[in-house]
Chain A
Amino acid sequence: GQSLEQPSEVTAVEGAIVQINCTYQTSGFYGLSWYQQHDGGAPTFLSYNALDGLEETGRFSSFLSRSDSYGYLLLQELQMKDSASYFCAAYNNDMRFGAGTRLTVKP
Chain B
Amino acid sequence: KAGVTQTPRYLIKTRGQQVTLSCSPISGHRSVSWYQQTPGQGLQFLFEYFSETQRNKGNFPGRFSGRQFSNSRSEMNVSTLELGDSALYLCASSPSRGGGHSPLHFGNGTRLTVT
Interfacial residues, chain A to chain B (CB-CB below 8 A): 8, 30-33, 35, 41-45, 48-50, 87, 89, 91, 93-100
Task: Give the number of residues in B that approach A within 8 Å (Cβ atoms).
Answer: 26
Q: List 16 A-B contacts (CB under 8 A).
A: A8-B40, A30-B98, A43-B43, A44-B106, A48-B101, A48-B103, A89-B43, A91-B100, A93-B55, A93-B56, A95-B99, A95-B104, A96-B45, A97-B35, A97-B44, A99-B41
Residues of B within 8 A of A100 (CB): 42-43
Q: For B103, give the chain A residue with the smallest CB separation.
A: A45
**Complex: how many Å from CA A43 to CA B6?**
14
Residues of A within 8 A of B100 (CB): 30-33, 48-50, 89, 91, 95
B67 at the interface (CB under 8 A from A): no
6 extra A-B contacts, CB within 8 A, seeds A41-B108, A42-B4: A30-B99, A31-B100, A33-B103, A43-B106, A89-B100, A95-B99
B75 at the interface (CB under 8 A from A): no
- Closest Cβ of chain B to A36, distance in Å, is 11
Q: For A94, give the chain B residue with the smallest CB separation.
A: B56
**Complex: how many Å from CA A8 to CA B39?**
11
B13 at the interface (CB under 8 A from A): no
- Bits for B74-110, please: 1 = Cβ < 8 Å to A, else 0: 0000000000000000101000001111011111110
Would you call A42 and B90 a contact (CB within 8 A)?
A: yes
Residues of A within 8 A of B44 (CB): 97
Q: For B94, give the chain A residue with the smallest CB separation.
A: A95
